[in-house]
Amino acid sequence: MRLATKLVHGHGYFDEGTGAFIPPIYQSAMFEQPERSTGQTRLSDRGTELKYSREENPTVRALERALAAVEGAEDALAFSSGMGAISTTYLALLKQGSRILVTMEGYGTTIQLATDLEKFGVRAAKVWPSAEAFVEEVKEGDLVLVETVTNPTLRVVDVPEVAKHCREVGATLIVDNTFATPVIFKPVRAGAAMAVESLTKYIAGHNDVIGGCVAGSRGTIGDLWEWRRKLGTIMSPFEAFLVLRGLKTLEVRFERLSRTALELAEFLEDHPAVEEVLYPGLSSSPYKSIADRIFERRLYGGVLSFKVKGGRSKALEVLRRVRIIKPAPSLGGTESLLTYPVISAAKTMPEEDRLKLGITDNLLRLSVGLEDPEDLKEDLSAALA
Ligand SMILES: Cc1ncc(COP(=O)(O)O)c(C=O)c1O
């Protein structure tokens, strides 16, 4: 099956009894165990006991089958949030004395949590967002967490190059693929041990669910399953139902969002009140060549950033004056959202790192939604005027 078909049918659910082929919401905390008629242990299709929804739930499991198919991985696990996926993975893989390397321009909470684990004897280091920097830094035994596209300056990292180096030296690579999605990039296929996605963003896609997932080999996911069980970070069945619904339209939404983002990036590049636009799809972007080499399609996502002439006060004024576009954190959903990274994505970043990365105080990040691009242009024009 090709991607669009996997998005729709990858869950593989069919109920022989009723003929239903849409996975229902199994809103049940527990399941009869053992089966009374046979005395047999009731198993999920993963081979684990189906008895309690903190461990395993059939709706969540249907989503996990779909996610594994879409990521091109042997198996996947769904979590209560992207951070649920990341924290469970950290605790499963790190031990006293381990070293974890994260992207300097990574998701703030991912970096903070890595640093917080120093109290258990883990060593955390931040690496410049480029394959060259990771290749130079990564040593045997490291746990490495790279983000395919960084936030908010939208640098594209040559993940296959980092994966090759990690394999050569014996390091474990996890790729947070939230900004790229499996529509254009599949970390496990590119050689990473695991792909992490915040499902909250493009994959669920409607700004109404918080969720996360990890995809990888059967063995890796089996170990992580145990940690998820102990930590209680599984997704709930209703959320899984919503993500399964959103997943079906991921490809069409991602195509449309990418087209709108490129159109708006080009529009803003020509706007007299805008100093600079950061978007990997622009021909002026230094990251376009990496994107075109590593992404499966010429699509660059629905997020772009731009610098407003006149500094912080003008940027904040734009944030206040947009009407259709909402000032709110998050991305990849149906509604267009605008954020001021200095007080959101980069809030916890040391000022020195922030400025080195070009996260200046006139920078705004726009996540385009499914509104008509002309309405978004008019909204931005009015706010910038
Ligand atoms: C790249 C990235 N990874 C992980 C997360 C965390 O995901 P969640 O908010 O679903 O916990 C986010 C959230 O913004 C993110 O942008």
Q: Are 265 and 128 in the same domain?
A: no
What are 254-277's pLDDT values in tens digits? 999 999 999 999 999 999 999 999
Q: Are residues 241 and 256 in the same domain?
A: no
- Over range 9-29, report the average pLDDT: 97
Residue 240 has pLDDT above 90, yes or no: yes
Atom of ligand 1 nearest to the CA of 179: 1
Kindly give the number of the ligand 1 atom that is closest to the alpha carbon of 86. Answer: 4
**Domain ends where: 247, 275, 310?**
247
Separation of 68 CA from ligand 1 center, angstroms? 19
Same domain, 194 and 109: yes
C-alpha dihedral over 288, 283, 273, 302, to 10 degrees? -50
Say yes or no: 336 and 198 in one domain. Answer: no
Total tally of structural domains belonging to the chain:
2
- State the closest ligand 1 atom to the C-alpha of 330, by its place in the atom list counted from 1: 14
Q: How many A from CA of 156 to the centre of ligand 1? A: 17
Asked if residue 137 and residue 207 are part of one domain, the reply reads yes
- 206 and 241 co-located in one domain: yes
Q: Are residues 137 and 240 in the same domain?
A: yes
Tell me what pLDDT residue 143 has.
98
Q: Whose CA is nearest to atom 14 of ligand 1?
A: 330
Q: Which residue has a Cα nearest atom 2 of ligand 1? A: 107
User: Is the Cβ–Cβ distance between 224 and 77 less than 8 Å?
Assistant: yes
Residue 241 scores a pLDDT above 90: yes
**pLDDT, mean of residues 64-76:** 98
| pLDDT (0 to 100) of residue 347 | 84
| pLDDT score for 345 | 80
CATH (domain of 125):
3.40.640.10
CATH of the domain at 313: 3.90.1150.10
pLDDT score recorded for residue 14: 97
Q: Note whether 99 and 229 are same-domain residues.
A: yes
Question: What are the pLDDT digits (tens) for 50-68?
Answer: 999 999 999 999 999 999 9
Domain extent, residue 292, equals 250-384
Ligand 1 surroundings by CB, under 6 angstroms = 81-83, 107, 110, 147, 151, 176, 178-179, 198, 200, 210, 212
Average pLDDT over the chain, rounded to whole? 97
Q: What is the pLDDT of residue 370?
A: 98
